[in-house]
Amino acid sequence: MDVLYFAWVRERIGLPREKVETNAATVADLVAELSAREDRYAVAFSDLSALRVAVDQELTDFDAPLAGVREVAFFPPMTGG
Amino acid sequence: MRVSVQEAPFDLGGESDAFAAGHVDMGAIVTFTGIVRDLPDDPMQAMEIEHYPGMTEAALSDIATQAMTRFSLGDALVIHRYGRLVPGELIMMVATAARHRKDAFEGAEFLMDYLKSRAPFWKREISAKGAEWVAAKDEDEAALNRW
């Protein structure tokens, strides 16, 4: 699936998007998998309360299932307007 | 109803006139415009706005559709820019048309409250001291509870 990062999450991880091969069942499982990869992921995901997640471009929660999902995005709380 | 996510500046007068034209059954039009505000103690060189192409348009359309239904609007307009802006530039505007002013005002406030914390935009302020991501405010999240 495609995993996208925005704002300071993108800066901490060091790339805007990547393809990830995963069998993670939920967003939280995917976060755990990525965090175990490298420090920069662990740092970016260290405080999930400071993060928001969208699955296939819809805001959702970290316990959302990933079956059949094409795109997951992580970003800080939004600041539009 | 129209939603536009764009890098280019927009013409506030032209957009407002075009929005107001042709509504014979709408007695009230409200427009709100957001402007890049300078920082008094730390002059801002620029504001950079990042967004999530695809999701941004979908989220704004969803919010505008909800506003149309909820406040019986005859029309709604949302324009939001991204990219690099300087103080004084227009960031965004919303416009609502309703039969009566209460719905037009409330519809515009609803649109603003939701697009502040539910549309995927992120602002970064750049000054001589460096670049800093704007933090979301608790009060912006709390503002959603009134709806």
- Residue B41 belongs to what domain range? 2-146
pLDDT-based confidence at residue B138 (cuts at 50, 70, 90): confident
> Are A78 and B120 a contacting pair at CB < 8 A?
yes
Number of domains in chain A: 1
Residue A11 has pLDDT above 90, yes or no: yes
Q: Which CATH number goes with the domain that contains B11?
A: 3.90.1170.40
C-beta of residue A43 within 8 angstroms of C-beta of residue A12: yes
pLDDT-based confidence at residue B110 (cuts at 50, 70, 90): very high
Contacts of B120 in chain A (CB under 8 A): 6, 54, 73, 75, 78, 80
Range B9-19 average pLDDT: 97
Q: Tell whether B7 lies on the interface with A, counting CB pairs under 8 A.
A: no
Rounded Cα–Cα distance for residues B109 and B101 (Å) = 12
Q: Which CATH number goes with the domain that contains A15?
A: 3.10.20.30
Rounded Cα–Cα distance for residues A66 and A81 (Å) = 31
Q: So what's the pLDDT on residue B41?
A: 84
> Are A78 and B133 a contacting pair at CB < 8 A?
no
**Residue A17's CB: how many other CB atoms inside 10 A?**
14
Q: Does A81 fall in a domain?
A: no
Rounded Cα–Cα distance for residues B135 and B147 (Å) = 23
Rounded Cα–Cα distance for residues B63 and B36 (Å) = 23
Q: So what's the pLDDT on residue A47?
A: 95
Q: So what's the pLDDT on residue B22?
A: 78
Q: So what's the pLDDT on residue B13?
A: 97
Q: Does A36 fall in a domain?
A: yes
Rounded Cα–Cα distance for residues A59 and B31 (Å) = 28
Q: Which tens digit of pLDDT belongs to each residue from A40-73?
A: 999 999 999 999 999 999 999 999 999 999 999 9
Task: Note the helical H segments in A1-81.
Answer: 7-13, 27-37, 39-44
Q: Does A34 fall in a domain?
A: yes
Range A8-29 average pLDDT: 97
- Residue A38 belongs to what domain range? 2-75
Q: Does A48 fall in a domain?
A: yes
C-beta of residue B120 within 8 angstroms of C-beta of residue B51: yes
Q: So what's the pLDDT on residue B142?
A: 87
Q: So what's the pLDDT on residue A45?
A: 97
Q: What is the DSSP letter of A26?
A: B
- The interface predicted TM-score (ipTM) is 0.95
Element (H, E) at B64: helix B55-70
Q: Tell whether B84 lies on the interface with A, counting CB pairs under 8 A.
A: no
Residues 10-29 of B with CB under 8 A from A: none
- Which of B90, B88, B85 has its CA nearest to residue B13? B90
Chain A residue closest to B134 (CA)?
A: A79
Q: So what's the pLDDT on residue B141?
A: 86
Tell me the residue length of chain A. 81
**Cut 0.90: pTM above it:** yes
Interface test mutation site (partner A, options B6, B33, B36, B52, max chain A beta carbons within 10 A):
B52
Number of domains in chain B: 1
Q: So what's the pLDDT on residue B5?
A: 98
Q: Which tens digit of pLDDT belongs to each residue from B24-80?
A: 899 999 999 999 998 888 889 999 999 999 999 999 999 999 999 999 999 999 999
Q: Which tens digit of pLDDT belongs to each residue from B74-104?
A: 999 999 999 999 999 999 999 999 999 999 9
